[in-house]
Amino acid sequence: MSDTPGTYADGRNPVTLRRYQPNLGFAAAVWRWLSPALSLLVIFCLASPARSQDTTSYTFDNYTAWLRQYADAKPDFKPGDVLTVKDLERIRPFIPPGYFEQLNFPELHMEIAQPSPHPMDRVYQDCTEKYGAQVRLAPDGALVNYLCGQPFVNSELSPNDPLSGIKAAWNFDYHWDYYGLNGMLIWVWDRMGGSHQGMAPNAVEAPPPSFIEGINYLSEWPTNIAPDFGGGGTFQRILQSYYQRAKFSHLAQLADQGGTVPLKGAKDFEWKEFNYFVEPFDIRGTAFIIFRYEDPHRADDAWAYVPTLRRVRRISAEVKSDSLLGTDFCLDDFYAFNGRPLEWNWKFLGWKQVLAVTDPKWDFPHFYGPNGTIPDDRWTLRQMAVIQRVPKDPRYPYKSALMFVVAENWFSTYHFAFDRGGKLWKVVDWRWKYTEEYKTFAEVNHGVHSMVFQNATNVDIQNKRGTMVPGPGFGYPNLNARQVERVFDINRLEEIHR
C-alpha cells in the first residue's frame, strides 16, 4: 500500500506531490521580530532531517504491513500483568512501529490495566441519535446539515468505502470537548542522551488572573513536578504557556439554541485559540490568537503580539506546518490534527486493537526511559480507528501522517509523520485522562464526561530530539461569556503583558 490515499471525496485523483521547499510562513512572521538567536531555532527545526536511527528507514508501507500481519492478533497478557523488556515480542502486535522500538530499554515496566468506560456526555449522545441521520457530505467532502453530536456512526466506516476517510476526519474534528480546553502547558526541549538532573521543570506558574476571570478554579497548580520527570535526556529549554480553546458552534449542550454560544457573531466561528507565553523572560508576553471559521473553505485568521515591538501584527496562519517557537510541534500537530479537513486527503484503514496510556493513574503525567520520554503509567488495550491523511498542498513538509484514534471517544493516542521522501520523521504519543477520574481540578472536569489533555510527546527520530508538553492543570470550565470576550479581543493583545 502506498502513501496515496485513493481519490478525493469528489472523485478526483490526488495531486502529484513535489519536493518540499521550506516556507517559514507562520513562524517567520513572528520570529523575525524576535532575537536572531531564537530565529535560528525555527530554521533548525525546519531543516532537512538527518537520518541517524534504524527507524528512519521506515515508510508508510511498514505500517500497512504491520496492520495486515496483526489484524486479528489476540493478546496473551491480561489486566494485572506487568510486562518488561523480555515481553516486547508479546506486545509488538499492539504497539505501532516507530513507537514500539522506543520501549526497548532495560527498565521497561508496563502495568496492564482493565480499560474503564469513557462514555461521552449524554447530551452529545442524544445529538448523535437525534440529528445524525440528516448529516451528509457535499461533493468536496464538506459537511451538510450538521448540527451537533458525532457526524457519522462508527458502523458506517469501512476500509472499502473511499468516503470513510473524510467521515472519520469529521468525527475527529467534532468529538465531544464541551466548551473547549483551558490550562497551563509546559514545553520541554529534550535532546537524546545525557541526564536532565537539576534541569526538570519545577513549579507551574498559575495563569494571569485576568485570563481566567470568572472561571471557578479552586485547585492550585503544582509547586514541584520535577520528580515526575524520571529517566534520561538532556533538557535544553523549558517554556510555560497559558492555552485556551473556546468553541463557538455545534455545541450539543446548546442544541436548542442552534448549537452556538450566546456571543455576537458566534455562528461564524467553529472555535478560537489563544496562546500566551509566561516563561522564560525572553518570550514572556508573546501571544497568539487564531480564529477557525465555521465555513470549512475559509482560511484561518491569526494575530500575534510580540513584547519587543509592543504592537499587534496580523500574521499568516496558512502555513501551519512551521515549527512552533523552535519546538518539534507545528500548529497542525495540535490534538494530533488541528488543520482544516478539506485541505487533506483522507483514508480510513480500519479498526485495530492498540496498547496505549488511555487510563492514566496520575493526575499529572510521569515520565521515564533512556531519554525521559516514555510514560511511567499503566497501559490499556483499546479499539482504535487507523486514519491516514495526505496534504493537498505540495509544499507541505509531511508527505503523509498516520493517526490512531480511540473508537469510543475519537481522541488521539499516536500519530506518525513522514517526511517528503516518505521516511518516518516524527513519532507523537498523546495522553488524555477521563474528566470524571481527576482528583485535582475536579471543579473544571467533573460532570463533563470527556477526555482532558495530559501530555503530548513528539520525538523527531531523525534528529534525535523531542519536545514534551505536559499540561498540569487542564480542564473544561463552564462558559463565561465575559471571560471569552476578553481573552479573544484582538484589541487587548497589547495590554495583556502589563
Residue 60 · residue 3 · CB < 8 Å: yes
- Cα–Cα distance for residue pair 293/485, rounded to 1 Å: 16
Residue with cell string 496483526 = 70
Q: For the chain, state the CA radius of gyration.
A: 21
- Residue 344 and residue 119: Cα distance in Å, rounded? 29
Q: What is the DSSP string of 465-481?
A: EEEEEE-TT-B-PPP-H
**Is 492 in a helix, a strand, or coil?**
helix
Question: What DSSP designation does 294 have?
Answer: S
Q: Cell triple for residue 351?
A: 479498526
* Residue 180: other Cβ atoms inside 10 A: 19
pLDDT score at 321 = 67
**What was the pLDDT predicted at 163?**
98
Phi, psi of 21 (to 5 degrees): -105, 115
Alpha carbon distance 324, 28 (integer Å) = 10
The burial of 144, by beta-carbon neighbours within 10 Å (0-12 exposed, 13-18 middle, 19 or more buried), is given as exposed
Predicted pLDDT at 48? 31
pLDDT score of 320? 64
- Rounded Cα distance between 128 and 64, Å, is 31
| β-bridge pairing 367-368 and 374-375 | antiparallel
CA pair distance 408, 6, nearest whole angstrom: 26
**pTM of the full structure:** 0.88
Instruction: Pick out the chain residues at pLDDT < 70.
Output: 1-53, 317-321, 324-325, 495-498
The span from the CA of 486 to the CA of 355, in Å, is: 41
- Per-residue confidence (pLDDT) for residue 95, from 0 to 100: 98
β-bridge pairing 311-315 and 143-144? unpaired
Instruction: Name the grid cell of 204.
Output: 507551574
pLDDT digits (tens, 9 = 90+) for 155-199: 999 999 999 999 999 999 999 999 999 999 999 999 999 999 888
